[in-house]
Structure 1
Amino acid sequence: MSYLKFEKALMTNLQDSLPKELLRTNRSGAYSCSTIVDCNTRKYHGLLVVPVPELDNENHVLLSSLDPTVIQHGAAFNLGLHKYQGDNFSPNGHKYIREFNCDNVPTTVYRVGGVILKKEVVFQHYEDRILIRYTLEDAHSPTTLQFRPFLAFRSVRQFTHENAAINREYQEIDNGISTCLYAGYPSLFMQFSKKNEFHYEPYWYRGLEYPKEQERGYASNEDLYVPGYFEMTIKKGESIVFSASTSEIKTSSLKHLFDKEVESRSPRDNFFHCLVNAAHQFHNRTANDDRYILAGYPWFKCRARDQFIALPGLTLSIEEQDYFELVMKTAERGLREFMVGKPLSVEIDEIEKPDVPLWCIWAIQQYAKEAGKERCTKLYSTFLKDILQYIESGRHPNLQLHDNGLLYSEGKEEAITWMNSTINGRPVVPRSGYIVEFNALWYNALRFGAAIAREENNEELANHYEALAEKCKQSFVPMFLNEYGYLYDYVDGNMTDWSVRPNMIIAVALDYSPLEQNQKKSVIDICTRELLTPKGLRSLSPKSGGYNPMYVGPQDQRDKAYHQGTAWPWLGGFYLEACLKLYKRTRLSFVERQMVGYEDEIFYHCLGTLPELFDGNPPFRGRGAISFAMNVAEVLRTLELLEKYKYQN
């Protein structure tokens, strides 16, 4: 039985099928994304969406969609689906869908009378090429197929509208055409594995509407250009492969290429395999062979903090140590450039944030647990020492080590933590001063640094780190632990934040914690009572002022809710790790039940992955980016921890 499979009843009910999205990536920054009924509901949706570095650092929708039409006995049945203004859907091709599954590759089966047509889609690895295979599984009379390409040629953050500047010219190529609507864009090559006729019928389809943009308070209408249509006959049992790319291909190789791509796909036949597949989608390799972890899809690039938090779960937890090393090699170069004030040669955003080097050390620490201290010492001991020295010497522009052993950062005017939403340039949650997770990470980093120093028989350096760590610990508890048994989120002079927030759980989950056992238990208890949801930890307790759990509405409204009660699975990962460390095997069934809440989600929002965040109140709807690296990573890391604790004596 298929895992990610949906029958006709769901597919033909747009209320159920339209919210379900599907993402395919090529590991080089391009992607293909739409709903499972191929009706685009976001401006970010498209069949071929690629970076165009000659224009900007955004992705661009070249091919929005491809509408197939089945013709028998002169009757045409269009299998496409678009939403137009006024809540009108056309041409309602979803009513012909018999089933959909994506256990291996996304596969849609259409039935039109006696015609059964199967469509399978893959995105070629490391090439900006989408491949679609159409197979006529059954037909009782001669059948013709037509394909209409809907072209956009615009940034994912903009819309295209009917205009006279468009270049309507096209060139005939091997079994297809190439065209480029605007100067500066690459040509789009559309080809088939079978000889066909292209009928030039240029036409603007006006007033397409994207409901997800309406929900977010943005403009939501655009026009798309269709240059004409391709036409060919197809016999029962025959397969035809369509290719859309920024480069031409020999069409005789398309069928073999499609088979090769299918063979390389990891199955999505259970929860774990879905997350492994999702983990690979965040991989990013540039032309100079640098490796990155993208923060999420469809609008995030590589962000330093996200990359270091996500890296262990996306690589080490699925036994891909080699990719951890490749990403860390690129990241080390970027962090070293930042630490010495050189221009960055890497494409990593927000590397200047003060907690980034601390999360980098945490990621290396996870590597040491998987690969062993010996190999970790060989690869990263010098890097680790340099980061700790950089922080200790006060060279970071916004991370100062005070005499009390704690780190201080200024965050009143700028968002400096993961709680980074802003309105008019100012942080919605202005966390400033002694920040709880910064200092927990600092203590952990010093203790880990001491362990690596001892691995190198450098007792003097180890003792130095231990002394700094002890000083941090002696100040940490008086600074952050309050009379109610939880930790202040931050302390800045006379300003003490009493809000119950999830950042304190990091101090409990770390391998080296400045807290005693009874203090850890108290923090976990508070998090369980006030922050825990089936989708992770809330970013703010319902009992705290400003609780705003619903991430809906226009941008300003969503910014105010972003970290004021919404739930985050990646924080749930640290919470579950803390529970396992404190309560060991007695919490295994509890952790397994939490995993069920995440597994339920991969059948909604974006299939096979986890979204950016969830509403903090029932029914805990998924919101934001459709696939988020830190969430997938921490669930994978939790699954790995579950297995380890299961087999402990």
Structure 2
Amino acid sequence: MITFGRQVCGDLAQSSTREWLVTDGLGGYAMGTVAGLRTRRYHGLLAVAAPGGSSRMLGLAALDPVVRAGDRLFRLATDEWAGGTVAPVGHVHLAEFRLEDGVPCWRWDLGDVVLQREIAMAHGRSAVGVVFRVLRAPRPVTLELTPLCTWRDAHGERHGDGEPWVTPVAEGFEFDGAYRVTGPNWQPGGEWYRGVHAREEAARGLNPDEDLWAAGWFTASLSPGDTACVTAAAAPFGGVLPAATDLVAAARDRARSLGRVFGSTDDVGRQLAVAADQFVIDTPTGPSAVAGYPWFGEWSRDLMTSFEGLLLTTNRHDDARRVLLRAGATVSEGMLANTADTGTLEYNTADAALWFLHAIDRYSAFTGDLDTVATLADSMHSVLEHHQRGTRYGIAADPADGLLTQGKPGFALTWMDARIGGDPVTERQGKAVEINALWIEGLAATAALFDRIGRRNDWDAAASRAATSFARRFPRPDGYGLYDVVDGPGGDDPSVRPNQLLAVAFPHVPAADPRIVEACRGALLTSLGPRSLAPGSPGYRGRHQGGSADRDRAYHQGTVWPWLIGPFVDAAQRVGADVGGVLDGLELHLGEWGLGSVSETADGDAPHAATGCPFQAWSVAELLRARAAVHGSPRPVGKIAMPA
């Protein structure tokens, strides 16, 4: 349980920067802040995803509550308007916020009246339930709920120009034919709330203002113990919408089941099991994962990097198998399709296919399932053969040394892929250290797996040659770690970056040098994970803030990336280095920003304020995996099926 009292809830600076998230297992979500203030254009109670989360539409933005107790009136919403006015200020009445079993819960203390709200989504359907319950009152109180509505791309905003299409239905209404909202004693109304302000969008240099349609109001007279329930669901509606109380109960049951499947015996582990589940989604072609909320869809690089932590560490082995089979079907010219956020297939990464090979190796190690390896063998061979001979974007094994080179002017193909106006910030063209670590590991692991399934191959010889060249080419002469890139357009790049940790982490790469780990510990490691570039380096930026261009310049130039804690722990354990306390800051981070989860990034400079997506898949996955490595992998209690 994550809990805050009045001192956090009543302080807008604190409560508006702590965000909660519930998801529908399809890529859609409900999301907001502890304060109830919508600080992002993405915040709302019903964000509806296209298959795979490639795009989302925001529907029901808020449900503003008003309590009438005798002659007293309490407006419990917290809204900000263009110009900076905050009104009403319902957060001042918040006595408690808690996140328990994945369900956010608020409690307003109005003196002799105490009101509670819980929010949950259906799993496998785009539907959200909101349950208000009177916990204490000397006499019945009246609760009024005003739905604030829109229907627009989650990345944009809508401005009122005429009345939207609102159709009355039993117990509620439909908005623009896209979603239905039902609740008690619906009374139609209709007016634009103009100039609703999202302060985080302003800070990111984006348009922060939009208009929302107040569609009317629901009302209920409630005595202690009574509930008022509102459900919103996207089309197709399928008859009566699910009861909000049932959605809350089902969400709690699912969270507890996930903890049992994971086999976790501590609160952090149980919370991370729920966090991991938020990213795993069903698509028309099988399971996948959203890279991050609220603005990312599925990305093959992120999916494969997250694979072990999200699916294997949490004992979701059948999902893992289906993810691999689905990914294998997209291999083209040895590259893995990156579905990204466009809804189309793009082949534009130098590492996703190599992470795919690593995922297959880890799946086999966890499950012993060689049948699936045999099914994927042609795809695995295609990856290595095309990389060895050459494929898109100059990706090819150098005949001179067997190392993998990649890159083409104007493209950023490694995970450090930020671009400004089409120009890469960290191009890294040449032989990148982590790409070659993945290449050597992929060659060696595939050779071993092919031997086990009886498939003839000569990949072990290629792995041995590349490893010998790696040991000769990548160590810096000064002993201070590894080059980040060799044979680049400007020669060898000695920048101190965390990519070298992957070389130490992988067992087949000849880089088991404690000095590499200690160099990264001293220059890069923070309490939230390693920086992407050492302070004092040319181009270092310690703040990942500001407009889009400012943020992209800093993205991989010093910004902290929590997912890199996994490679750090692996590398440290391989060389026998101390890992005591390295996970403490990330575990505490679960209650600091994206509640119950781990952020995408953080400032490189102290105090390392969180940035980027508040809820990021590979950050959660690698913390899960690192905890398993440090504390021992949990095991499920008995034979327990994944919750539906």
Q: Same fold (TM over 0.5)?
A: yes
Map Cα deviations across residues 178-216 of structure 1 (whole Å, 9 max, x no partner). 221xxxxx4321112x4x141x33211122211111111
Which of 535, 544, 564 aligns to 2:537? It is 544
Matches within 5 A, 1:281-292: 281-286=278-283, 288-292=284-288
Corresponding position of 2:642: none
Which of 476, 496, 503 aligns to 1:500? It is 496
Q: Is the 8 A contact 1:354 1:396 kept in 2?
A: no
Q: CA deviation at 1:299?
A: 0.5
Q: Is the 8 A contact 1:381 1:452 kept in 2?
A: no
Q: Is the 8 A contact 1:610 1:626 kept in 2?
A: yes
Q: CA deviation at 1:146?
A: 0.8
Paired amino acid for 1:323: D
Corresponding position of 1:626: 614
Map Cα deviations across residues 54-99 of structure 1 (whole Å, 9 max, x no partner). xx95212111100111112243211111011333211111122121
Which of 41, 44, 47 aligns to 1:43? It is 41
Q: CA deviation at 1:471?
A: 1.5
Distance 1:531 1:258, change over 3 A: closer
Residue 421 in 1 paired to residue 433 in 2? Answer: no
**Runs of 4+ off more than 6 Å:** 340-344
Q: Is the 8 A contact 2:525 2:531 kept in 1?
A: yes
SS at match of 1:291: strand
Which of 92, 98, 105 aligns to 1:95? It is 92
Map Cα deviations across residues 398-422 of structure 1 (whole Å, 9 max, x no partner). 3111212111112431111100111
SS at match of 1:606: coil
Distance 1:444 1:197, change over 3 A: closer
Q: CA deviation at 1:379?
A: 4.6
Q: CA deviation at 1:537?
A: 1.1
Q: Is the 8 A contact 1:81 1:92 kept in 2?
A: yes
Residue 11 in 1 paired to residue 2 in 2? Answer: no
Q: CA deviation at 1:353?
A: 1.4
Aligned mates of 1:252, 1:38 — CA distance in 2: 24
Corresponding position of 1:150: 148
SS at match of 1:91: strand
Residue 117 in 1 paired to residue 154 in 2? Answer: no
Aligned mates of 1:474, 1:465 — CA distance in 2: 14
Aligned mates of 1:271, 1:291 — CA distance in 2: 25
SS at match of 2:331: helix
Query: Which deviates more from structure 2 when the two are superposed, residues 484-493 or residues 89-98?
Result: 484-493
Paired amino acid for 2:404: L
Aligned mates of 1:301, 1:343 — CA distance in 2: 8
Distance 1:339 1:73, change over 3 A: closer
Q: Is the 8 A contact 2:28 2:126 kept in 1?
A: yes
Map Cα deviations across residues 590-646 of structure 1 (whole Å, 9 max, x no partner). 34x111110111111110001111111111111001111111111111111113499
Q: Is the 8 A contact 2:361 2:446 kept in 1?
A: no
Corresponding position of 2:603: 615
Aligned mates of 1:161, 1:341 — CA distance in 2: 37
Q: CA deviation at 1:309?
A: 0.3
Residues matched between the structures, number? 621
Distance 1:487 1:66, change over 3 A: same
**Structure 2, unaligned stretches of length 5 or more?**
260-265, 636-644
Paired amino acid for 1:188: Y
Residue 260 in 1 paired to residue 250 in 2? Answer: yes
SS at match of 1:335: coil
Matches within 5 A, 1:220-619: 220-247=208-235, 248=237, 249-250=239-240, 253-266=243-256, 270-286=267-283, 288-336=284-332, 350-372=346-368, 374=370, 377-403=373-399, 404-458=401-455, 461=457, 464-485=458-479, 486-491=481-486, 492=488, 495-515=491-511, 517=512, 520-583=513-576, 587=578, 590-591=579-580, 593-619=581-607
Map Cα deviations across residues 551-608 of structure 1 (whole Å, 9 max, x no partner). 011111111111111111111210111111210xx63xx34x1111101111111100
Q: Is the 8 A contact 2:66 2:74 kept in 1?
A: yes
Q: CA deviation at 1:279?
A: 0.6
Aligned mates of 1:30, 1:304 — CA distance in 2: 19
Which of 56, 60, 72 aligns to 1:59? It is 56
Which of 177, 181, 191 aligns to 2:182? It is 191
Corresponding position of 2:207: 219
SS at match of 1:549: coil
Aligned mates of 2:381, 2:354 — CA distance in 1: 12
TM-score by length of 2: 0.91
Aligned mates of 1:469, 1:328 — CA distance in 2: 23
Corresponding position of 1:183: none
Distance 1:640 1:205, change over 3 A: same
Corresponding position of 2:21: 23
Q: CA deviation at 1:123?
A: 0.8
Distance 1:245 1:502, change over 3 A: same
Aligned mates of 1:342, 1:112 — CA distance in 2: 51
TM-score by length of 1: 0.90
Identical amino acids, percent of aligned pairs: 29
Aligned mates of 1:169, 1:263 — CA distance in 2: 35
Q: CA deviation at 1:252?
A: 8.2
Q: Is the 8 A contact 1:368 1:375 kept in 2?
A: no
Distance 1:350 1:614, change over 3 A: farther
Q: CA deviation at 1:254?
A: 4.8
Aligned mates of 2:209, 2:243 — CA distance in 1: 38
RMSD between aligned residues: 2.6
Paired amino acid for 1:543: G
SS at match of 1:146: strand
Paired amino acid for 1:160: R
Paired amino acid for 2:268: F
Q: CA deviation at 1:118?
A: 1.3
Map Cα deviations across residues 7-27 of structure 1 (whole Å, 9 max, x no partner). 122111112111100111101
Aligned mates of 1:603, 1:62 — CA distance in 2: 28
Aligned mates of 1:503, 1:564 — CA distance in 2: 13
SS at match of 1:218: coil
Paired amino acid for 1:8: R
Q: Is the 8 A contact 2:149 2:212 kept in 1?
A: yes
Q: Is the 8 A contact 1:411 1:431 kept in 2?
A: no
Q: Is the 8 A contact 1:25 1:281 kept in 2?
A: yes
Distance 1:197 1:413, change over 3 A: closer
Q: Is the 8 A contact 2:41 2:155 kept in 1?
A: yes
Aligned mates of 2:211, 2:338 — CA distance in 1: 45
Aligned mates of 2:335, 2:156 — CA distance in 1: 36
Paired amino acid for 1:205: Y
Q: Is the 8 A contact 2:396 2:404 kept in 1?
A: yes
Aligned mates of 1:253, 1:625 — CA distance in 2: 31
Paired amino acid for 1:389: E
Map Cα deviations across residues 106-163 of structure 1 (whole Å, 9 max, x no partner). 1111122322111111011111111011111221123211110111211122112221
Q: Is the 8 A contact 2:30 2:45 kept in 1?
A: yes
Query: Which deviates more from structure 2 when the two are superposed, residues 360-369 or residues 227-236?
Result: 227-236
